[in-house]
Amino acid sequence: MSSFQAKNQLQDDGEVDLLTEITLFSHKALPNHKVKQSKHVDKKPSHHVSSKKPSQKKQTLTVKSTGYTANDPGCIGITKTGLNLKENPNAKVIAVDPSIIPLGTKVYVPGYGTAIAADTGGAIDGHHIDILFNEKSDALNWGVKEITVTIL
């Protein structure tokens, strides 16, 4: 983790904080990054009952959605959580009202994909999200849509 943080100009502490997670999440593929798989052998008797909780139903929210870019007027290119959008142009980020969707939350946005709630905005209030796009034309093409997002 330390080498990934250093390579991406993040605090090199070996810990996975929100900025590291956002940066890691925004990389579709990490070159030369290998994950070791390990097998866990349960040495408990076979009559042991798993304490694994059943999967919970994911929460959905209907929101107004708009698009923005890191270069829009009023946007300094750094999210509320400190992510530099100009240095991380492939980051999948949404701006949210943190009282509705907490910062750091992973959200599935139909037509966009999985994003992290890493920003806020002056016009973002209540059930409204602003979706980060690299190109102004993509943000404009998105327009204003009412969509149902899934909190992951």
Q: Where are the domains of the chain?
A: 60-151
CA distance 122 to 118: 14
CATH-assigned architecture of domain 60-151: Beta Barrel (2.40)
List pLDDT tens digits, range 24-67.
655 543 444 333 344 444 444 444 444 444 456 789 999 999 99
| 3-class secondary structure, 20 | helix
Question: pLDDT band at 131, cuts 50/70/90?
Answer: very high
CA distance 30 to 26: 10
Q: Region 11-29: what's the mean pLDDT?
A: 59
CA dihedral over 87, 93, 96, 102, signed as positive or negative: negative
Pair type for strands 106-109 and 113-119: antiparallel
Which residue type is seen at 79?
Answer: T
